[in-house]
Amino acid sequence: MTVPRTLVCQTVDEAMHGYYALGEDVVVKPLFGSEGRGILRVTDEALAWRTFQTLARLDRILYLQQFIAHRGADLRLLVIGDRVLGIRRTSADDWRTNISRGAVAEPLRVTSELETLARQAAESVGATVAGVDLLPGDDGGLYALEVNAVPGWRALAATTGIDVAGLVLEHLLQVCA
């Protein structure tokens, strides 16, 4: 598992330098986002400059991540204490695989390898409940896009039929006891 090259910048000049360093194909992410809102892909120099200028004027952190070519599907793994649940999210119309943007979810059999990767990712940020988004790239690599400490699980619950909220509450009661 690899993390795509990612840069956090505070100035437009830093962000433009990062844009070039990341191959002129970047995903610009809000530091605090949800359901794919505010995420955009920038492949044009003039649009990169304008985007970074706008975000800088709003006093936003410029968070850039190398775009990873993929086939329109990612894996959402949800770590809840000792359990790891998963879905595959697929979008035929958008490079973003968020359910709220029209992607379709299907149950995912969580292999021991995926379970280990999800646990390691959650542990790396000190979370016992975390959403781990993994992207199978066209190059055959598996990329950890992010670890969400406050993950959404509505689509996972609906797709798997598992009472995820109940599992989270049960886990929190154990942790807080």
Supply the pLDDT for residue 100. Answer: 85
Write down the CATH superfamily of domain 73-176.
ATP-grasp fold, B domain (3.30.470.20)
Fold match between domain 6-66 and domain 73-176: no
SS3 call for 119: helix
Q: Where are the domains of the chain?
A: 6-66, 73-176
DSSP 18-84: HHHHTTS-EEEE-SS--TTTT-EEE--HHHHHHHHHHHHHTT--EEEEE---BSSEEEEEEEETTEE
Cα angle for residues 115, 117, 171 (degrees, 5° grid) = 55
CB contact set of 119 (below 8 Å; sequence gap of 6+): 79, 84
Q: What is the mean pLDDT of each run of 10 residues along the chain (177 residues)?
A: 93 97 95 76 97 93 95 96 96 90 94 96 94 96 92 93 96 89
pTM over 0.85: yes
Supply the pLDDT for residue 46. Answer: 97
- Give the architecture-level CATH label for domain 6-66: 2-Layer Sandwich (3.30)
Supply the pLDDT for residue 34. Answer: 66
